[in-house]
Chain A
Amino acid sequence: MSRRTWVLINSAVLLLCLLGLWQAVVSLKHLPAYMLPGPTLVAVAIEERFPSLMKSLLITAEEAGGGLLASIIVGMTVAMVFAQWTWLRQLVYPYTILLQTVPIVAVAPLIINWVGPGLIAVSTVTFVICLAPIIANTTQGLISVDDNLIHLFVMHKATPAQILFKLRLPNSLPNLFTGIRISAGISVIGGLTGELFAGSAQVGEGGLGYAITYANNQMETSYMFALVLAATLLGFSFFFIVMFLEWMALHNWHESKRADVGE
Chain B
Amino acid sequence: MVNVPEVVLQSVDKRYRTGAAALEGISFEVERGEFVAFLGPSGCGKSTLLRLVSGLSAATSGSVRVNGMTPDNARELMSFIFQDSTLMPWRTVAENVGLSLELEHAAPPLRSERVDRMLNLVGLTHVARRYPRELSGGMKMRVSIARALASRPRILLLDEPFAALDEMTRDRMNEELLRLYEEQKWTVLFVTHSVAEAVFLSTRIVILSSNPGRIAHDVAVDLPWPRTAEIRDSLVFEQTVTGVSRLLRGVMQA
Q: Which residues of A contact B (CB under 8 A)?
A: 146, 148-149, 151-158, 162, 166-167, 170-171, 173, 252-255, 258
A154–B133 CB distance below 8 A: no
Residue of B at shortest CB range from A154? Answer: B56
7 interchain residue pairs of minimum CB distance: A148-B82, A253-B131, A156-B100, A148-B86, A170-B90, A253-B90, A156-B103
B99–A156 CB distance below 8 A: yes
Q: Tell me the count of chain B residues lying within 8 A, CB to CB, of chain A.
A: 25
The residue that A153 contacts in the complex, of B79, B91, B103, with Cβ under 8 A, is B103
The residue that A149 contacts in the complex, of B51, B78, B88, B103, with Cβ under 8 A, is B88
Most-contacted residue by chain A among B56, B131, B151 (CB, 10 A): B56
18 A-B pairs in the complex with CB atoms less than 8 angstroms apart = A148-B82, A148-B84, A148-B86, A149-B86, A151-B54, A152-B80, A152-B82, A154-B56, A155-B78, A156-B75, A156-B99, A156-B151, A158-B103, A170-B90, A171-B90, A253-B132, A254-B133, A255-B89
B230 interfacial contact with A, CB 8 Å = no
Residue of B at shortest CB range from A145? Answer: B88
B39-53: contact bitstring with A at CB < 8 Å (1 yes, 0 no)? 000000000000100
Chain A residue numbers with a CB within 8 Å of B75 are 155-157
Chain B residue numbers with a CB within 8 Å of A156 are 75, 99-100, 103-104, 151
Q: In the complex, A151 Cα to B133 Cα: how many Å?
A: 22
Chain B residue numbers with a CB within 8 Å of A148 are 82, 84, 86
Most-contacted residue by chain A among B78, B79, B82, B104 (CB, 10 A): B82
Most-contacted residue by chain B among A155, A167, A170, A171 (CB, 10 A): A155
A167–B151 CB distance below 8 A: no
The residue that B86 contacts in the complex, of A152, A154, A252, with Cβ under 8 A, is A152
CB distance from A176 to the nearest CB of B (A): 13
Given known A-B contacts A153-B103, A155-B75, A253 and B80 have beta carbons under 8 A apart: no
Chain B residue numbers with a CB within 8 Å of A146 are 84, 86
A155–B80 CB distance below 8 A: yes
Given known A-B contacts A152-B80, A258-B133, A157 and B103 have beta carbons under 8 A apart: yes
The residue that A253 contacts in the complex, of B56, B86, B89, with Cβ under 8 A, is B89
